[in-house]
Structure 1
């Protein structure tokens, strides 16, 4: 590693091209950052600063030493290049004259390599694909829209033309910008470690950016390009929300890891958790990228509600309206299991409907949403604990959900109905629209309500208004206060209307007859209201009961005839927190091989010998390990329960099952083996 203080223009001078590797993020500086830089350049001139520190640029020499790979500093380097190009073009177009600046020097020293025969390499700054097109486009005067490169170029050009600082003084300020150039050498420095060190000090990279860097950085440039185009670019695009520039890349990796490992990474540790997962499983780069690409395609279907099947898309859309993001890992697993033909398309649709019903019923019954995190995290594992899950996946799915108790339960009809009668559904953020829209659209052939709500052509209306005037008090009777308090925000008193909100306090008769009032409403929700001559407790209760009966059909309580057989095995992994006391083991699987055993002692002895065959050097130290020395010895102890593994290594198999599991977890950790790789099946 070599570090040197250098003027930015000297850094740009030379025969090297500056390559922004494909694993780097796109150019992200906005007008805000560009304005700050421009204001700083004015300040340099005003205060006559001799130097001004711009920051650090870390570069990595390629195999031939002719080009620099930019490890850190691409945002600053790109911005200075854009600014220099703006100055050159203004001078070249003759919009502003200068006696001091050599415009050709700007072009030929800092922006292009004029002796480079390959036209694609003549421009010094070689950005990632989208930015490259935009930067090259400026040279050709073919602007690329929706690009921060283009936007910031136009910003700088307009700023210079405003002439708040004359172009000569602006250029002199750029000449005073200083960087620290750090050059990493192949074979001597590890760019990945440098990258992690830089980003541990607060540089604003997403967890997804870090994972991209980790996967692609150590590949040769041509391989990086291949992997980026074939996999990473597609993965990234698959996490994009439709109709926006918002990418959910880090969220995808969090949900992917949750699905794979049955534990939820901390949002700030997704990169390190992925790195550990990658290394523990000894993946090849292309192997993990293929799996990520496959899952990202399904992730796009989930977050954008755009499955090939229209019915599945509609259900996913409703699940997204319920904002149950914690279900995403299980939904990813569902797609994987569907692709393995564990259940049919029809069953897939039914599973999604049951999830919708499960979540909504819990919401109506005020069950804690925090519990859903754990429920969905282990749901796939619970299903697959049944040995016949491949044949009976759908029935087992229902069986597992219906057998949950306490905070994790699936509310039954009576509980759901009783809570719905009193639930304040108006003050539930977006869920009130979801509820009314679902009631309206259920079993209807045409669905136009969603778009009308999105366009604000329909809004939620209290039939009995939020503020009672004298006429309403009279119509409701002596108990108007009690009725108002009890029913105001309940489902019986809420509907969707298209009339102006200023009429909301009008009498019931006026609400029926005004323009776009109830009498002219085509909505199913308002058909009963049309038949009423007044709106009192009696009408509210009748409509409420009618809508709740319909709700029981929409958000169904599932049924299954599946019965767990006593002779069906259940499997567990070493990662599971489970009390095995009194349980009998039948066999275990390790490294995809099955080993039959007589009991836990036999299991323990076999797995230790298997581990020792591959890790003998490290395991010979176990008798001296503080945590393991009570179960590992370097010489034979008295009794039949001390078994020989090898010369100078013996184990105690007479301990209880809990102790054996405890030792194995420590051993797997020391040997850096994933706990989930050991599966054992109980009788």
Structure 2
């Protein structure tokens, strides 16, 4: 990011608002959404700065601004905090106005009121001689803010406004009550209020990041998100699309339609990331884009009203498939399809999603189901057992998606022809499996181990049972915390062998509790009583449990696994 397009500095609230600069919330930025929990937190933070021996300052976090002329700034991130502080100042001003109307130092309080308005709320335009607000809100909130809150109206109307406007009004009234309580015992409450605002404006400070355009703003979002600061790239993407529509004759109608459809998709996605869905959708139809490049790619490709609505229509077409992949339990898919989607989620493998979106649009249901199952097998061989780098895999899946989208591949077998590149052959898979360890101290890994052991048990003995059932647990034959009786394994062997797949079996829960960390000679009779074929077979075939026997068992399991996770059309 060029230094000329990027500036960072710390500024207090006074330094931000106490000048001739103007701040605007983009018209279609999200609405005001803070509630009492956030108001209370901010109030407590402010209170901590008020005593003479209190905190010297309170940090309000990042504020991301965009400007073309260093006079008017669009608030890309930070609108909730800026709006709420403005409401506190306005609530102070309405109290000052009421004190003056009640005859409490009326001249002094009106002068204080005028000074606060000039400093923090609005200024006199030298050309038009009209007052301009220093802060303008979005399209749903600005009219109420401008017409009722900034004017310090005695009566704040409550009917016919969106929920976000009610939240803003409630915030204003909440802070007004706190402020009245704050100064009720002061000798001069007007002076106390003015002093409160002055202290607040000097002690609340932000790290202000100023950028020259939306592309740089998006890069800032990516950087801050990488550092754990939660910002909304979704809002930035939406704002760009709105800016495209704003150029047309039907802007108001079209922007309302975009708002409705966009918010509908965001609502349906729920906890899923909208940018992640958008990237998967994009990569299922267009050139490959990484998450960090997504905004730039969309900005370069979506530049007309027609293309904006094409994008919306196509996202609508893909969102059901994406949700079925990411939230299979709530989908209407068949049990087999849900199972495959759940396994991909368990593996944390998302690279196939663009291909699967394209496949759902272009393949028959039978071929899609076969491809979904084949994707699970590839993910297991390539990602779970092989732990291979995903960069090449992502490139191959994108190539498959493009073949599907372009109708170059119209059958399951034709897609498989592309996927052969990321399907580890039997020999490579057996080698990887023979040496595989999975540390079950992590819950996700434990779930995968249960899945593997149950799948192998089903293949070996035909017993089909729920891998998540509490009736069975993972038994580490060589215990995770061995006591006496395990001298065959030295300290180095313990780390090497405890989490090898051959050292783990499924065992009835009651039996597992009974044997604990006992030596193998004591465990063996219990293992022999298990209903699990592979568990019983381990005890039958091994009079003792030593590294050599463990290695031999894992080779046998590798051969069995090759028959479980395989694609017959490739093998």
1:470-525 Cα offsets, whole Å, 9 max, x none, are: 5233xx6xx98998787543222113454788964312354467xxx757766666
Report whether the alignment pairs 1:368 with 2:389.
yes
Correspondence for 1:329 = 354
Task: Give the C-alpha shift of residue 555 in structure 1.
Answer: 0.7
Correspondence for 2:160 = 120
Correspondence for 1:352 = 372
Task: Give the C-alpha shift of residue 170 in structure 1.
Answer: 6.8
Q: What SS is found at the alignment partner of 2:160?
A: helix
Higher helix share: 2
Distance in 2, Cα, partners of 1:170 & 1:195 = 42
Instruction: Give yes or no for contact 1:41–1:170 (8 Å, CA) kept in 2.
Output: no
Correspondence for 1:416 = 429
**Stretches of structure 2 lacking an aligned partner (at least 5 in a row):** 1-13, 68-73, 97-102, 118-144, 203-210, 225-229
Instruction: Give yes or no for contact 1:58–1:70 (8 Å, CA) kept in 2.
Output: yes
Task: Give the C-alpha shift of residue 318 in structure 1.
Answer: 1.0
Q: 1:382 to 1:53 in 2, by over 3 A?
A: closer
Task: Give the C-alpha shift of residue 314 in structure 1.
Answer: 1.7
Correspondence for 2:240 = 214
Among candidates 24, 40, 55, match of residue 30 of structure 2: 24
Correspondence for 1:307 = 331
Instruction: Give yes or no for contact 1:503–1:511 (8 Å, CA) kept in 2.
Output: yes
Q: What SS is found at the alignment partner of 2:277?
A: helix
Task: Give the C-alpha shift of residue 207 in structure 1.
Answer: 2.7
**Stretches of structure 1 lacking an aligned partner (at least 5 in a row):** 12-17, 60-68, 92-97, 122-128, 141-152, 180-191, 242-246, 562-683
Correspondence for 1:227 = 258
Among candidates 342, 360, 363, match of residue 317 of structure 1: 342
Instruction: Give yes or no for contact 1:23–1:224 (8 Å, CA) kept in 2.
Output: no
Distance in 2, Cα, partners of 1:114 & 1:361 = 69
Distance in 1, Cα, partners of 2:492 & 2:49 = 68
Q: 1:133 to 1:424 in 2, by over 3 A?
A: same
Task: Give the C-alpha shift of residue 212 in structure 1.
Answer: 0.5
Q: 1:427 to 1:139 in 2, by over 3 A?
A: closer
Q: 1:131 to 1:554 in 2, by over 3 A?
A: farther
Distance in 2, Cα, partners of 1:366 & 1:133 = 52
Report whether the alignment pairs 1:400 with 2:429.
no
Among candidates 236, 239, 254, match of residue 269 of structure 2: 239
Q: 1:175 to 1:449 in 2, by over 3 A?
A: same
Q: What SS is found at the alignment partner of 1:264?
A: coil
Correspondence for 1:648 = none
Distance in 2, Cα, partners of 1:72 & 1:221 = 24
1:502-559 Cα offsets, whole Å, 9 max, x none, are: 964312354467xxx7577666664545757844358646754564344233211331
Task: Give the C-alpha shift of residue 37 in structure 1.
Answer: 7.0
Distance in 1, Cα, partners of 2:537 & 2:379 = 28
Task: Give the C-alpha shift of residue 39 in structure 1.
Answer: 4.0
Distance in 1, Cα, partners of 2:217 & 2:435 = 55
Task: Give the C-alpha shift of residue 315 in structure 1.
Answer: 1.0
Q: 1:159 to 1:313 in 2, by over 3 A?
A: farther
Distance in 2, Cα, partners of 1:546 & 1:79 = 65
Correspondence for 2:398 = 377
Instruction: Give yes or no for contact 2:356–2:401 (8 Å, CA) kept in 1.
Output: no
Distance in 2, Cα, partners of 1:396 & 1:334 = 11
Instruction: Give yes or no for contact 2:474–2:504 (8 Å, CA) kept in 1.
Output: yes
Instruction: Give yes or no for contact 1:9–1:110 (8 Å, CA) kept in 2.
Output: no
Correspondence for 1:76 = 81
Distance in 1, Cα, partners of 2:358 & 2:435 = 36
The 5-angstrom pairing of residues 5-16 of structure 1 reads none
Report whether the alignment pairs 1:270 with 2:294.
yes
Distance in 2, Cα, partners of 1:99 & 1:527 = 90
Instruction: Give yes or no for contact 2:527–2:535 (8 Å, CA) kept in 1.
Output: yes
Correspondence for 2:194 = 172
Correspondence for 1:463 = 477
Distance in 1, Cα, partners of 2:185 & 2:544 = 71
Correspondence for 1:425 = 438
Task: Give the C-alpha shift of residue 73 in structure 1.
Answer: 6.1
Report whether the alignment pairs 1:508 with 2:529.
no
Q: 1:533 to 1:324 in 2, by over 3 A?
A: closer
Correspondence for 2:545 = 536
Instruction: Give yes or no for contact 2:475–2:504 (8 Å, CA) kept in 1.
Output: yes
Among candidates 492, 496, 499, match of residue 489 of structure 1: 499
| TM superposition score normalised by structure 1 | 0.54
Task: Give the C-alpha shift of residue 319 in structure 1.
Answer: 0.8
Report whether the alignment pairs 1:439 with 2:453.
yes
Distance in 2, Cα, partners of 1:524 & 1:22 = 62
Correspondence for 2:70 = none
Among candidates 272, 280, 294, match of residue 255 of structure 1: 280
Report whether the alignment pairs 1:449 with 2:467.
yes
Instruction: Give yes or no for contact 1:254–1:264 (8 Å, CA) kept in 2.
Output: yes
Report whether the alignment pairs 1:555 with 2:565.
yes
Correspondence for 1:289 = 312
Distance in 2, Cα, partners of 1:168 & 1:518 = 81
Instruction: Give yes or no for contact 2:359–2:404 (8 Å, CA) kept in 1.
Output: no
How many aligned residue pairs are there?
Answer: 467
| TM superposition score normalised by structure 2 | 0.63
1:367-421 Cα offsets, whole Å, 9 max, x none, are: 433321222122223567885x33xx1111223323x3xxx4x222233223322
Q: 1:134 to 1:447 in 2, by over 3 A?
A: farther
Q: 1:464 to 1:58 in 2, by over 3 A?
A: closer
Q: What SS is found at the alignment partner of 1:358?
A: helix
Task: Give the C-alpha shift of residue 292 in structure 1.
Answer: 1.8
Q: What SS is found at the alignment partner of 1:449?
A: coil
Q: 1:20 to 1:47 in 2, by over 3 A?
A: farther
Distance in 1, Cα, partners of 2:220 & 2:366 = 51
Q: What SS is found at the alignment partner of 1:326?
A: coil
Q: Which has the larger radius of gyration?
A: 1
| Superposed CA RMSD | 5.5
Q: 1:114 to 1:200 in 2, by over 3 A?
A: farther
